[in-house]
Amino acid sequence: GLRERLKEYSNLGAKFTKWRGVYNISKTKPSKVSIYSNAHSLARYAALVQECNMVPIVEPEVLMDGDHTANDCFNKTSEVLKKCFEELIMHNIDLTGIILKPNMILAGSESKNQISNEETAKLTVKCLKESVPDEVPGIAFLSGGQTEEQATENLNLINKFNTTNFKMSYSYGRALQQSALKYWAKNTSDVQGTQAVFNHRAKMCSLAAQGKWTKELENK
């Protein structure tokens, strides 16, 4: 029923859609079956979306849950992305008309071997450069459990180290909304104050998408 629903959404004015495939890292995961199944589903979805003249956001998310190293994340994310694009190409997807929403390259949240933000940025750019076809115009990162400032600083550094033609931006949930939600929870009638908190976070993320964020601006 996805084709029919997409037609309905398109007629209502929708211009883009998103489909998320999730992968865990462990000694046995993600399995080859998981990598293939998610890639195939993402490609089938993208084909139906483009058929309805909308932009598919393709989101293969390698979770940061676990004690894996950043190198493990790099290797598994590379494998996931390459299989996704293999399937997208096989399904004749116009790669110039998609947006990729991937994870950054991070050590697992429980790992004892955390890496610096600079290393995260360099590994992320390297992974994308080696795994994503040049035709893809835009990459909008998910925050994947990072703190607001961590996600902002990493995006900023990614743009500073970006040697590709990809537009590197953000599609954050928690890392865009968390402070505003916490502020609002204390006093739900303070709409103006809540909006100010959210606007600051949005501005910081937008500066990071241009490689113009600094800690000084963050703390103003």
Neighbouring CB atoms inside 10 A of 95's CB total 17
Residues 172 and 194: their CA atoms lie apart, in Å, by: 18
At 105, list the tokens. Answer: 């390259």
Contact 91, 42 (CB under 8 A): no
Choosing from 59, 87, 153, 218, the catalytic residue is 59
| pLDDT tens per residue, range 170-202 | 999 999 999 999 999 999 999 999 999 999 999
Q: Which positions ≥6 away from 214 have C-beta within 8 Å?
A: none
Residue 8: pLDDT above 90? Answer: yes
Residue 63, CA distances (Å) to 23, 70, 161 in order = 6, 12, 23
Known catalytic residue: 59? yes
- The 8-class DSSP code of residue 170 comes to E
| Summary mean pLDDT of the chain | 97
Known catalytic residue: 101? yes
Confidence band for 220, pLDDT divided at 50, 70 and 90: confident
Choosing from 76, 83, 87, 101, the catalytic residue is 101
**101 closest CA partner among 62, 148, 156, 153:** 62
pTM of the entire predicted model: 0.95
